[in-house]
Amino acid sequence: MSDLSVFFAQNVAGEVTEEVAVSARFRNKDGSAVLWKLRSMTEDENEQCRKAATRRVKGKNGQYTQETNTEDYLANLVSSSVVFPDLKNPDLQRSYGVLGAESLLRKMLLPGEYVELVQHVQRLNGFDQDVNELVEQVKKLIQEGDGEANYAYYALHELRILPHELTAMSRRERAAIYAMIDVRVEQERKERKKMKK
């Protein structure tokens, strides 16, 4: 068994940085492509990016739900990961006639360049696992009866609670939801049993 101290903050590799050529259109004096400096971020920073892209939306029956705009979330994620060029620099923003780092990126880059940058940032932050692999992993967890996965499945399909909303809840809130799900499932089981008689 490994020593627990390998997980202590002082023993973990810090922020990961990487330099990439996002576009050949930005050139140094010697004609070489300018390298953009990207950095990894913490889950706390990622959550701030997600929250900034999440809005309350009035749904059916007047109930409000949380809805995350994926494009805004990705723009926040990318702008937070770019160290150089300084996307918050007012002179740089003014030169493109925009306000805000996210708007600047969309104005500076061609669509293909923007997608390339998004892919670099996602990989740097650990989002490079193939979606199909993740789908299979989640299916397997549900089929094998993993408690958390099954509660999330039920919460999504029966209560319309998205997985990220469920995980954002406090432990006490999640425990209450799980207990309510258990009670409801048991009631439904009893009703089905009565109907069979």
Q: Could you give the CA distance from residue 81 to residue 87 in angstroms, rounded to a whole number?
A: 10
**Is there a domain that residue 152 lies in?**
yes
* Dihedral (CA of 80, 86, 89, 95) sign: negative
3-class secondary-structure state, position 1: coil
**Is there a domain that residue 18 lies in?**
yes
**Is there a domain that residue 188 lies in?**
yes
Contact 28, 22 (CB under 8 A): no
In a shared domain, residues 24 and 111: yes
Count the domains in the chain: 2
Contact 41, 126 (CB under 8 A): no
In a shared domain, residues 120 and 144: no
pLDDT of residue 1: 42
Q: Tell me, what CATH number does 108's domain have?
A: 3.30.2220.30
Question: Domain boundary residue among 94, 124, 154?
Answer: 124
**Is there a domain that residue 106 lies in?**
yes
In a shared domain, residues 101 and 174: no
pLDDT value at 136 more than 60: yes
**Is there a domain that residue 2 lies in?**
no
Q: What domain range is 168 assigned to?
A: 131-196
**Is there a domain that residue 154 lies in?**
yes
**Is there a domain that residue 104 lies in?**
yes
With a pLDDT cut of 70, the percent of the chain lying above it is 93
Higher pLDDT, 22 or 129: 22
In a shared domain, residues 100 and 141: no
pLDDT value at 2 more than 60: no
In a shared domain, residues 120 and 135: no
Higher pLDDT, 55 or 90: 90
pLDDT of residue 137: 80
In a shared domain, residues 50 and 116: yes
Question: Domain boundary residue among 124, 144, 159?
Answer: 124
Range 50-56, long-range pairs (CB < 8 A, 24+ positions): 50/76, 50/164, 52/76
